[in-house]
Amino acid sequence: MKARELLCRRLTDPGIIAVVRARRAEQVPPLAEALVAGGVTAIEVTLTTPDALAALRTTATQLGERALVGVGTVLNEDQCRAALAAGAQFVVSPIARRELVPLAHAAEKPVMLGAYTPTEAQLVHETGADFVKLFPADTLGPAFIKALRAPLPHLKIVPTGGVDLRTLAEFFRAGCVAVGVGSSLITADILAREDWTALTDLARQYVAARRALR
């Protein structure tokens, strides 16, 4: 089995991808440790985090095989190359930037491109991207995804935006292979207080909610 395929499997089990927009780069390693302690082992460090690549590199080294540390909010090829060089194990873009696919795949890393409409989602699939990031999903919801997958069941959809403990089950039941969870997991209060114990507890709740569906 290829390395990229193995990474894709890890991203979908349990299928909770934590979207990290930290206030400072120094918050990312302890934040990631807290997530892993709660069972969330896919961590997307967005480039909107200050010194994001340094935070990614440090966190990936610290966690080793215990988790996948990827990069988010990638908008161009230069950012993708830099993130891969820093150790990103998966690449996420909020837009359909097809040029990122060959770069990530050459490094044997999964890539997820953004889409909002059925046409965009299918075009993302046709680029060879491993996943379709449906964004922002809060304005569309699980019913949209269920309807979308009726004629397009091959799409591997990962919604981001609007996923919380209340809606998580609905998104998975609609056919999503994973979900991206940001501020409902890594809350503003947790970041402000750096309450990593609370983050671990909340991560456990998300993982338990996902496991309960199987």
For 102-126, what is each residue's pLDDT tens digit? 999 999 999 999 999 999 999 999 9
Say whether pLDDT at 154 is over 80.
yes
- The catalytic residues are 44, 133
Helix 28-37 vs helix 196-211: crossing angle, to nearest 10: 40
For 155-181, what is each residue's pLDDT tens digit? 999 999 999 999 999 999 999 999 999
Question: What number is the average pLDDT over the span 60-72?
Answer: 97
Burial class (CB in 10 A: 0-12, 13-18, 19+), 47: middle
What pLDDT sits at residue 123? 98
Q: Which residue has the tokens 């491109």?
A: 113
HEC states along the chain?
A: CCHHHHHHHHHCCCCEEEEECCCCHHHHHHHHHHHHHCCCCEEEEECCCCCHHHHHHHHHHHHHHHCEEEEECCCCHHHHHHHHHCCCCCEECCCCCCCHHHHHHHCCCCEEEEECCHHHHHHHHHCCCCEEEECCHHHCHHHHHHHHHCCCCCCCEEEECCCCCCCHHHHHHCCCCCEEECCCCCCHHHHHHCCHHHHHHHHHHHHHHHHCCC
CATH class for the domain made up of 3-209? alpha beta
What pLDDT sits at residue 214? 74
Q: Where are the domains of the chain?
A: 3-209
Say whether pLDDT at 143 is over 70.
yes
For 1-20, what is each residue's pLDDT tens digit? 689 999 999 999 999 999 99
pTM, two decimal places: 0.97
HSE (CB half, 13 Å, CA atoms) of 188?
0
What pLDDT sits at residue 1? 64
Question: What number is the average pLDDT over the span 72-91?
Answer: 98
CA dihedral sign of residues 166, 170, 172, 176: negative
Q: How far apart are CA 162 and CA 19, in angstroms?
A: 12
Burial class (CB in 10 A: 0-12, 13-18, 19+), 143: exposed
What pLDDT sits at residue 2? 85
Q: How far apart are CA 31 and CA 170, in angstroms?
A: 27
What pLDDT sits at residue 57? 98
Say whether pLDDT at 129 is over 90.
yes
Say whether pLDDT at 138 is over 80.
yes
Say whether pLDDT at 37 is over 70.
yes
